[in-house]
Amino acid sequence: MGRLDDRVAIVTGAGRGIGRATALRLARDGASVVVNDIDAEVAGETVSLIEAEGGTALLHVADTVDMEQAHGLTKAAVDRFGKLDILVNNAGITRDKMFHGMSEETFDFVMDVNLKTGFHTTQAAMPYLREVAKAEIKAQGKVAYNRKIVFTSSVAALMGNPGQYNYTAAKGAIIATTKTLARELGPFGINVNAVAPGFIETRLTAAKTDDSDLGIPEQMRQMSLMLISLGRLGVPEDIANVHAFLVSSDSDFVSGVTIPVTGGQLGGM
């Protein structure tokens, strides 16, 4: 028996990094997983990895910045698996620039990919999460089980981070809106929480090279390591483990919180 047997989950940005590790973990725990990413090739690899382990997955390539595509994503989940129980809003991106030189375009892009994606996908999930729960309450006085929404903030929003005015604007808003949604959706048995990853080794935190918009300077990587109490950088599975808790019934009385997953990073606890 897996702790997510019979559950249907969507993980956005599941083609790489934290999203891929989470999709794999949820499938291992028994969920049928809709693997969303804007990048078809890597998302297809995640699906193959899940299927190779005997899990169930559906590939859905979509840009969740676009409301219509977000609706297509949640509908695809329900068309294929008959329902939706879990939404992990993981898709995100960085475009670091010091504030004095940050263009409006760079600000908007990072706000869209980190904040609007979750707004759109979660709203597109409402008919399948809120409305279904409401019908259950009407028919039998309570929900059959709690449904789960998880957002992805960042330790950068807890501490501030030079070069990330855009990113911390979006990730800070996620902490606030997680609380608001938890209050709105609690009466429908829907738990709404967020994770705030610290330094997790993915392409977003790889050493910056001249030919990439992503990554961070090697000096900052070393500095981050020195601040982490547990003495190592995080790996995507460290976040997947917390996602697995937040989408399972083990967290049925946890809502409205943002859990820092930082290895005890100084300033980010």
Binding site for ligand NAD (CB under 6 A): 12-13, 15-19, 36-39, 42, 63-65, 90-93, 113-114, 117, 152, 154, 197, 199-200, 202-205
Choose between 8 and 200: whose C-beta lies nearer to ligand NAD.
200
Q: Which residue has the tokens 């990113």?
A: 167
From CA 200, how far away is CA 219, in angstroms rounded? 16
- Which C-beta is closer to ligand NAD: that of 80 or that of 203? 203
> From the CB of 221, what's the least distance to ligand NAD, in Å?
10
CB of 233 to ligand NAD, least distance (A): 8
* Active-site position among 128, 145, 165, 167: 167
> Taking the C-alpha atoms of 84, 90, 93 and 98 in order, what is their torsion angle to the nearest 10 degrees?
130
Q: Residue 220: count other Cβ atoms within 10 Å of its Cβ.
A: 18
Nearer to ligand NAD, 133 or 220 (CB): 220
Closest CB to ligand NAD among 35 and 185?
Answer: 35
In Å, the largest CA–CA distance within the chain is: 59
Which H or E run includes 209?
none
Q: How far is the CB of 139 from ligand NAD (least distance, A)?
A: 35
**Between 17 and 189, whose beta carbon lies closer to ligand NAD?**
17
Q: Is 167 a catalytic residue?
A: yes
DSSP codes, 107-173: HHHHHIIIIIHHHHHHHHHHHHHHHHHHHHHHHHSS-SS-EEEEEE--HHHHH--TTBHHHHHHHHH
Q: Residue 27: enclosing H or E segment and its boundaries?
A: helix 17-28
Residue 211 token pair = 């030919």
Smallest gap, in angstroms, from Cβ of residue 135 to ligand NAD? 30
Nearest distance in Å: CB 38, ligand NAD = 4
Which stretches does DSSP call E strand in 62-200? 86-88, 147-152, 190-197
Q: Which DSSP letter does residue 208 get?
A: P
Does residue 160 come out as left (phi exceeding 0), alpha (psi in the -120 to 50 range) or beta?
A: left
Do 90 and 19 contact (CB within 8 A), yes or no? yes
Active site residues: 167
